[in-house]
Amino acid sequence: MLTLDAIMHRYGRREVLHGVSLSAGTGIYGLLGNNGAGKSTLIKIAATVLPLARGSATFAGLRRSRDDAAIRALLGYLPQEYGLPLHLTCLEYLGYVAAMKGLDPREPSASPEQALERFGLEDAAGRRIAALSGGMRQRLGLAQAFLGAPRLLILDEPTAGLDPQERVRLRGIIRECAETATVLLSTHIVSDIEHAATCVGIMEGGRLAAEGTPDELVAATRGSVYEVSFDAAEWERLSPDWMRRGRDVAHWPGVVSGVSAEEGGAPRVRVRVVSLARPEGAAQAAEPTLEDAYLLATSRSLAAERPA
């Protein structure tokens, strides 16, 4: 069990985490949030990269900051931004990582060759990292994180730079790993976690704005999602203002979560809106999705509509 309790952190005078608490057991804990929400800072504290200033963090009975070295021995970590030794080949780099982790390369889970094959890089084993594309470098970063079958796997924006086929492959690998490990996965892309996460935490402004299983978060959003049909020309006139300000178009509180064309007859579009109040006009209630729940928790324009 990974437990973060009342985590606070500041950069200089700017406080970026305001008492964040969460617990994650075996399975996938998906951490959703917009850029600047505090996800990466929280991830770095859990991964022993940043010092723990206030609050407490434990994993498998080990406590930050007392047991940081022991936590790292159980950890696989992919940061959002990281440097790679460009002069090494892929195989040399993974061999170096395995040695730094104290892994036995004869063990299948610690084998650099098997790690490369797992992420579709077997043909690049002898290529220098400098010659790899961005997507291949991301897969190499993932390969090092998974070396040695870590009991705690922390991934920050792991699908960045991956094409759709690679993303699907990665999700399968993460689900397999999560059968025996705790996975903390930070992303702003809902589809990365919506079908696999055991629990989802949604961060906004350095706080945990919502938490629950995907089904629980969707259920809590029911009654706050609507669809409205617009004449295409009317929507073209309204949409720039709505997209810029996010609310108050035609006296509608809310944010747009999708626009799709309607078939047949005169050109029309169907606009999907997340709103705490029923929009004026012929708005129809719609079944929510996890992305709608994400928008409801993180939209500042919706927060302004909530009763005090």
Whether 48 and 163 map to the same domain: the answer is yes
The answer to whether residue 71 scores a pLDDT higher than 90 is yes
Among 213, 239, 262, the domain-final residue is: 213
Whether 102 and 155 map to the same domain: the answer is yes
Least confident span in 130-139, 187-196, 262-271: 262-271
Report the domain count for the chain.
2
Give the global pTM: 0.90
Per-chain mean pLDDT for the chain: 89
CB distance 63 to 56 below 8 Å: yes
CB distance 66 to 54 below 8 Å: no
Among 213, 247, 266, the domain-final residue is: 213
Residue 114: partners with Cβ closer than 8 Å, 6 or more residues away: 108
Dump the DSSP string for 19-35: EEEEEE-SEEEEEEE-T
Whether 166 and 51 map to the same domain: the answer is yes
Among 191, 213, 235, the domain-final residue is: 213
For 89-131, write each residue's pLDDT tens digit. Answer: 999 999 999 999 999 878 999 999 999 999 999 999 999 999 9
Whether 233 and 133 map to the same domain: the answer is no
Structure tokens at 274: 């997340």
Whether 97 and 21 map to the same domain: the answer is yes
Residue 8: partners with Cβ closer than 8 Å, 6 or more residues away: 15, 17, 18, 19, 20, 53, 54, 55
CB distance 98 to 105 below 8 Å: yes
For 17-59, write each residue's pLDDT tens digit. Answer: 999 999 999 999 999 998 889 999 999 999 999 999 899 999 9
Q: Is 308 inside a domain boundary? A: no
CB distance 281 to 271 below 8 Å: no
Q: Is 122 inside a domain boundary? A: yes
The answer to whether residue 265 scores a pLDDT higher than 70 is no
Residue 67: partners with Cβ closer than 8 Å, 6 or more residues away: none
Distance CA 185, CA 78 (A): 10
Whether 16 and 69 map to the same domain: the answer is yes
Strand partners, 58: 3, 63
**Parent domain of 158:** 2-213
Q: Give the rounded distance of the alpha carbon of 228 from its chain centre.
A: 30
Q: Is 129 inside a domain boundary? A: yes
The answer to whether residue 248 scores a pLDDT higher than 70 is no
Whether 167 and 40 map to the same domain: the answer is yes
CATH code of 26's domain: 3.40.50.300
Structure tokens at 268: 């029309």
- Tokens 């970026």 appear where? 16
Whether 17 and 61 map to the same domain: the answer is yes
Whether 206 and 289 map to the same domain: the answer is no
Whether 29 and 85 map to the same domain: the answer is yes
